[in-house]
Structure 1
Amino acid sequence: MKLPFRPALLATMCLAAYGAHAGALTVQVSDSAGKPLADAVVVVDAEGGVAMPRVLTPGQIEQRGLKFLPLVTVIQTGSRVSFPNNDKVKHHIYSFSPAKKFDQKLYSGVTAAPQVFEKAGLVVLGCNIHDRMVSYVKVVDSPYFAKTDAAGVARIEVPAAGKYTVTAWHYQMSGAIAEQSVALRSEAPSALSFKLPLKPPPIGADAQSN
Structure 2
Amino acid sequence: MFKRLFCLIFSVLVAVPVFAGEKSGTITGKVKVFRARRSADVVVYLADVSGKFKPPANHPVVDQKNLTFIPHVLPIVIGTTVDFANSDNVKHNVYSSSETKKFNLGTYGSEIVKQVTFDKEGEAALACNVHTEMSAYIMMLPNSYFAKTGNDGGFTITDIPPGEYTLKTWHEKKRPYQQKVTVEAGQTTEINIKLKR
For the pair shown, which has the larger CA radius of gyration, 1 or 2? 2
Task: Give, as a single letter, the amino acid of the residue that structure 2 aligns with 1:25.
Answer: I
Give the superposed CA RMSD. 2.1
The residue number in structure 2 matching 1:180 is: 179
From the superposition, tell whether residues 98 and 168 of structure 1 become closer, same or farther in structure 2 (CA, over 3 Å).
same
Aligned partner of 2:134 in structure 1 is 133
Q: Indicate conservation of the 8 Å contact 1:34/1:195, yes or no.
A: no
Q: Is the 8 A contact 2:164 2:183 kept in 1?
A: yes
- After the TM superposition, which residues 9-88 of structure 1 pair with which residues of structure 2 at under 5 Å, given as runs? 21-32=23-34, 37-46=39-48, 50-56=50-56, 58-88=59-89
Unaligned runs of 5+ in 1: 1-15, 199-210
Alignment length (residue pairs) = 177
Q: Which residue of 2 aligns with 1:194?
A: 193
Q: Which amino acid aligns with 2:163?
A: G
2:147 and 2:157 in contact (8 A); partners too: yes
Per-residue deviation at 1:110?
Answer: 4.5
CA-CA distance at 1:55 after TM superposition: 4.3
Distance verdict in 2 for CA 1:187–1:44, change over 3 Å: same
Question: % of aligned pairs identical?
Answer: 31
Runs of 4+ displaced beyond 6 Å: none
SS at match of 1:114: strand
TM-score (norm 2): 0.82
| 8 Å Cα contact 2:53/2:142 also seen in 1 | no
**Paired letter, 1:54:** K
Query: 2: distance between equivalents of 1:35 and 1:42?
Result: 19
- Name the amino acid aligned to 1:166: L
Query: If the length of structure 1 is used for normalisation, what is the TM-score?
Result: 0.78
